[in-house]
């Protein structure tokens, strides 16, 4: 029973870290993004070389700041735990939307999988290495349109999700 409970707790911690990744990249939260990896963690996106997460984040964040928005979703999550080590495969859809100066909106839609190698150091589960396996890419170009008033999200700490978390943490 104890082993089963420990495995379930590990799987939940890893699942939350994967969701933290999506939130960090979509909200441009570098600190949260770094917390998903161990400090010596590495990444390999598609056919690019493997690099330390800290080196990858700078150029990635610069690029994401040029976008209108980006949105990552994780599905079909499988996690296998062996003691303080784990491997996960998660399907991902990432929409990266840009608005060039030509009066058009371009949505770059990536679909693929994150194959992550995890370890627990102390009490923290984090990624040792991520490989992104690209399965498909679709480019959708449409005429630009004004942003409707109901879009209330922000790509920083002004986002309502951060306000809610901060209120909870403050005991409000």
CATH of the domain at 28: 3.10.450.50
The percentage of residues in the chain with a pLDDT greater than 90, rounded to a whole number, is 73
Averaged pLDDT, 127-155: 86
**Number of domains the chain contains:** 1
Q: Given pLDDT bands bounded at 50, 70 and 90, which one contains residue 68?
A: confident
Between 45 and 154, the higher pLDDT residue: 45
| Range of the structural domain that residue 123 is part of | 2-169
Average pLDDT score over residue span 126-138: 97
Length of the chain: 172
pLDDT tops 70 at residue 49: yes
Side-chain-side CA neighbours of residue 150 (13 Å):
0
Strand partners, 88: 79, 116
Helices of type H across the chain: 2-26, 30-36, 53-65, 160-169
Note the pLDDT tens digit of each residue in 37-48.
999 999 999 889
pTM for this model (two decimals): 0.90
SS3 94: strand
SS3 (DSSP) at 115: strand
């Amino acid at each position: 029973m104890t082993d089963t409970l420990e495995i379930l707790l590990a799987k939940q911690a890893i699942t939350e870290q994967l969701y933290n990744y999506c939130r960090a990249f979509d909200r441009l939260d570098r600190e949260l993004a770094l917390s998903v990896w161990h400090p010596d963690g590495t990444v390999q996106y598609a056919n690019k070389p493997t690099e330390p997460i800290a080196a990858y984040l700078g150029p990635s964040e610069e690029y994401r700041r040029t976008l209108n928005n980006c949105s990552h979703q994780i599905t079909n999550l499988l996690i296998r735990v062996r003691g303080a080590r784990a491997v996960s495969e998660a399907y991902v859809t990432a929409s990266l939307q840009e608005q060039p100066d030509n009066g058009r909106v371009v949505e770059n839609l990536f679909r693929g999988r994150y194959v992550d190698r995890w370890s627990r150091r102390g009490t923290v589960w984090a990624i040792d290495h991520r490989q992104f396996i690209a399965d498909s890419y679709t480019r959708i170009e449409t005429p630009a349109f004004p942003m409707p008033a109901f879009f209330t999200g922000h790509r920083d700490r002004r986002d309502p999700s951060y306000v809610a978390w901060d209120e909870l943490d403050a005991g409000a």
